[in-house]
């Protein structure tokens, strides 16, 4: 982490990339807004541009690339890079959102599931393929977010996206709890992957925890805790 680094000599308008370890239950936009407010109202960067390179769901933590000033020109390139995640999955149960945003809606048997079956399923889900986003997602359908249709109880068909899952490794398995490491392309929904694993095992599954550990060459070990970054940012006010 960067607790001992100083931001006093940074010209944020000229460009800066902050690697933030996004806190649980914060949206990616929440993080951007908090940093932007400090830059505008505490440090005097009234017209500063700021954005993030790759959304993380509120229930996920880990690497969030925040581009400031001229670095916002790099957002698309940074967003396109490979991602790595640690995902916690519960087998034998599903939720409408494929994660803990919604309560379990159905239970399934798991007695037939073996480690060999899981390894086979993960192998079949690896590689370049099409993947459907979760219905509770920010994908737009005719200009409306998919989750708005879902909340209204309306069924919509979401277009599948071409993704590439380069590697899936089992880190631990204590039925019905599975932890995996995933290396994948931009646009991969790990929530959808959890759902797909359940289907492949003739059971159900949902995501119970997600941490992005790497995005391109940026790792969570070299990132800022949000509170530490804000403290260092405010220190610049007295420079």
Q: Both ends of the chain: CA-CA distance in Å? A: 23
Residue 57 designated active-site: yes
Question: What whole-number distance in Å separates Cα of residue 238 and Cα of residue 94?
Answer: 51
**10 Å Cβ neighbour count for 83?**
23
Q: Which of 9, 30, 57, 77 is catalytic?
A: 57
Question: What whole-number distance in Å separates Cα of residue 214 and Cα of residue 220?
Answer: 6
Question: What whole-number distance in Å separates Cα of residue 92 and Cα of residue 143?
Answer: 35
Burial tier of 174 (Cβ tally within 10 Å: 0-12, 13-18, 19+): exposed
Instruction: Identify the CA nearest to 229 among candidates 87, 14, 23, 76.
Output: 23
If you count DSSP H runs as helices and E runs as strands, how many of each does the chain have, helices first?
6, 14
Question: What whole-number distance in Å separates Cα of residue 72 and Cα of residue 78?
Answer: 10
Six-digit token string for 62: 């880990």
Question: What whole-number distance in Å separates Cα of residue 107 and Cα of residue 100?
Answer: 14
Burial per residue of 26-55, b for 16 or more beta-carbon CB atoms within 10 angstroms, e otherwise: bebeebbebbbebbeeebebeebbbbbbbe
Give me the active site residues, please: 57
């Amino acid at each position: 982490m960067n607790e001992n680094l100083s931001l006093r000599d940074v010209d944020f308008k000229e460009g800066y990339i902050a690697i933030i370890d996004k806190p649980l239950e914060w949206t990616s936009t929440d993080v951007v807004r908090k940093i932007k407010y400090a830059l505008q109202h505490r440090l005097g960067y009234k017209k500063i541009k700021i954005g993030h390179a790759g959304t993380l769901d509120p229930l996920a933590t880990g690497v969030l690339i925040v581009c400031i000033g001229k670095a916002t020109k790099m957002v698309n390139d940074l967003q396109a890079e490979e991602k790595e995640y640690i995902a916690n999955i519960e087998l034998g149960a599903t939720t409408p959102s494929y994660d803990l945003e919604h309560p379990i809606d159905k239970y399934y048997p798991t007695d037939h599931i073996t480690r060999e079956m899981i390894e086979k399923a993960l192998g079949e889900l690896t590689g370049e393929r099409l993947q459907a986003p979760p219905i509770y997602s920010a994908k737009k359908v005719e200009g409306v977010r998919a989750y708005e249709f879902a909340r209204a109880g309306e069924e919509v068909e979401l277009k599948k996206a071409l993704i590439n899952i380069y590697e899936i490794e089992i880190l631990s398995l204590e039925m019905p709890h599975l932890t995996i490491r995933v290396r994948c392309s931009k646009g991969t929904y790990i929530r959808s992957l959890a759902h797909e694993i359940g289907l492949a095992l003739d059971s159900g599954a949902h995501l119970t925890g997600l941490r992005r550990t790497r995005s391109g060459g940026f790792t969570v070990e070299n990132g800022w805790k949000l509170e530490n970054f804000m403290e260092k940012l405010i220190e610049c006010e007295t420079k």
